Chain A
Amino acid sequence: MALRMWASSTANALRLSTASRPHFSPLSRCFSSVVDGLKYANSHEWVKHEGAVATVGITDHAQDHLGEVVFVDLPDVGGSVTKATGFGAVESVKATSDINSPISGEIVEVNSKLSETPGLINSSPYEDGWMIKIKPSNPSELESLMGAKEYTKFCEEEDASH
């Protein structure tokens, strides 16, 4: 257990040094990656707030643990999402797994590419694998989410405890 935690700490140091770059790097594929500038929920979704719109997807940690995504069930544009409540699901291995929204708001766009290419969630979780775009109804909800360092530590502790 101690060796695993040491290795995990070293990996985290590596992750943070690569995560300081603004874009996701394929060089960091050895371990789950965390991107600076995003906010993170404890259910492993990320949100990127840019102006009036927030983009949501699942993290590299989540896609790695879920396995190959073969199907994505997403809501319709115009619907609403509520913080910490499910808005869709992914299918991987033999499981459907709920996806929860980190914030509340109105859905203004849905990634239609995911119906034909659900694997984008695995290969590009922070970019091409985005799921929905929201017009936030309460932007202050972002403040209660984790930053990159906090989320990295959260994942490390979660993996270490199992």
Chain B
Amino acid sequence: MATRKVGLPLMNVISMKGVPILQQLEIEECLLRTSSDNWCIINDGTNKPNIVMGISGKPSELVEIKPVIEDKIPVIRRFTGGGTVIVDDGTIFVSFICNKDSVPDVQPYPRPIMSWSSLLYSKVFHGIADFKLRENDYVFGVRKFGGNAQSITKNRWIHHTSFLWDYKTRNMSYLKVPKRAPDYRLARDHLDFICPMKDYLSRSDFIDKTIEAARSHFSLASSDPPSNFEFTPTSKLLTKQELEAALIKTH
């Protein structure tokens, strides 16, 4: 892994498997805010189902709260923008944390970063599937298989994606159809709107190809995740009381 191309900016690659999504988010926010290096974080599946909302997410609007409370599904509000996903061991997470000066052709705004990411992933799926970036989602044809979110600071940004390598149909029923949905969704419910990546390539092939695509932009080096970092993350697990209060709002 530790090959270095002269002239390309360095990127540290953290490869994880089954790490809890809240822990992954805490690592990411810490690295975004306190590190000056570039990072690629890959988490091959998370340990159990979690619902993850964006920074402004309201559970009363996005989540079927009663079954979520009954089934004890954790609900997290993350530090990045964007929509709501339910993630589990079938989800593959890939995150890029970059200094804006390391990617000088990309203006540090949502749409240029999104375009840059789609160029990277088009290399991953070249010859495999009809991959497109469509209204900020990664799609095969008209079906979404990857959801994106970002956080942009003065000199750095993170672009992270949850890829649906596989998913459990019953878990999608915990999510409401959001009020703000992309036009191409056309009021389809979740199961008609999304598709699994497993129909196209294996987990290991996807991860290998993603690393290879990153190698065209960065010199990669393996790294361990930070531990014992002195940073207060803002992603948080909602309490049962907060969910119950949100449930009251829906009535």
Residues of A within 8 A of B (CB): 43, 65-67, 70-71, 73, 84, 86, 89, 91-98, 100, 158-159, 161-162
A to B contact number (C-beta, < 8 Å): 74
Query: How far, in Å, is A161 (CB) from chain B's closest CB?
Result: 8
| Total contacting residues, chain B, CB less than 8 A | 27
- Selected interface stretch from B149-157, B198-206, B242-250: B149-157
Contact B105 A94 (CB under 8 A): no
Contacts of A71 in B (CB 8 A): 55-56, 81
Contacts of B114 in A (CB 8 A): 93-94
Contacts of A93 in B (CB 8 A): 81, 110-111, 114, 136, 150
Q: Using known A-B contacts A91-B54, A94-B110, A94-B136, determine if residue A162 contacts B150 with beta carbons closer than 8 Å.
A: no
Contacts of B111 in A (CB 8 A): 65, 67, 93
- Chain A CB within 10 A, most for which of B79, B111, B114, B136: B111
Q: Using known A-B contacts A73-B55, A96-B152, A98-B152, determine if residue A158 contacts B81 with beta carbons closer than 8 Å.
A: no
Interface of B is mostly: loop
Contact B151 A162 (CB under 8 A): no
Contacts of A70 in B (CB 8 A): 56, 180
Contacts of A97 in B (CB 8 A): 109-110, 151-152
- 24 pairs, CB–CB < 8 Å, chain A vs chain B: A43-B154, A65-B109, A65-B111, A67-B109, A70-B56, A70-B180, A71-B56, A89-B55, A91-B55, A91-B56, A93-B81, A94-B80, A94-B148, A94-B149, A95-B109, A95-B152, A96-B79, A96-B80, A97-B109, A97-B110, A97-B152, A98-B153, A100-B154, A162-B107
- Chain B CB within 10 A, most for which of A84, A89, A96, A100: A96
Contacts of B79 in A (CB 8 A): 96
Specify which of B80, B104, B106, B110 is in contact with A92 (CB 8 Å cutoff): B110
Residue on A with the closest CB to B105?
A162
Cα A136 to Cα B123 with chains together (Å): 50
